[in-house]
Amino acid sequence: MNVPKLKPINVWCGNIETKDEALLVIRSGYALFYCLGVFFILVGLLTALGLLKVPALESILVGVMWVGLAFLLQNFYRRIVAAILILLSIGTVYMVIGVAGGKIDILLLPVVLLLWPSIRVLRATIKWQKWEREMREPQ
């Protein structure tokens, strides 16, 4: 019996062609956003303890926003949540620019880790909702 092989899916680049690929991109996205939120919360707590020199309250608030939006994305798969994640990504990049003192070499990592996954998740949620709408409409 021949079992068809599934083609490997690259989550962060390429076209999103099926509903399963969109779901995989969304799931990978909110897992990354949970990790980013926990990272920012830990940075804020380490700053509160005096181990780092970054704004503690801002880091904790940004981390809580990342975790909250990841939770909403996980449960609802909505475009508005993905759009807010892009805005939060842009704001976080500006916060990192302020902390880094505008050094260009340090800024590549936050741009890649924050903006591109947010844009991919927005594209995946748009396609996900389109396919959901097509399934609900009577033929």
Residue 14 lies in a domain: no
Domain membership of residue 15 (yes or no) is: no
Token readout for 44 is 């804020």
When pLDDT is averaged across residues 24-46 and rounded to a whole number, the result is 94
Q: Is residue 11 part of a domain?
A: no
Q: CB count, 10 Å around CB of 92?
A: 23
Domain membership of residue 48 (yes or no) is yes
Number of domains observed in the structure of the chain: 1
- For residues 51-73, give the mean pLDDT: 92
1 lies in a domain? no
Q: Is 80 inside a domain boundary? A: yes
Q: Averaged over 30-41, what is the pLDDT? A: 95
Angle formed by the axes of helices 116-136 and 79-100, to 10°? 180
> Is residue 101, in this structure, part of any structural domain at all?
yes
Q: What is the pLDDT of residues 101-128, one digit of tens each?
A: 767 666 677 667 788 999 999 999 999 9
Let me know if residue 81 belongs to a domain.
yes
What is the residue range of 82's domain? 22-136
Q: Token digits for 7?
A: 């083609």
- Reported residue count of the chain is 139
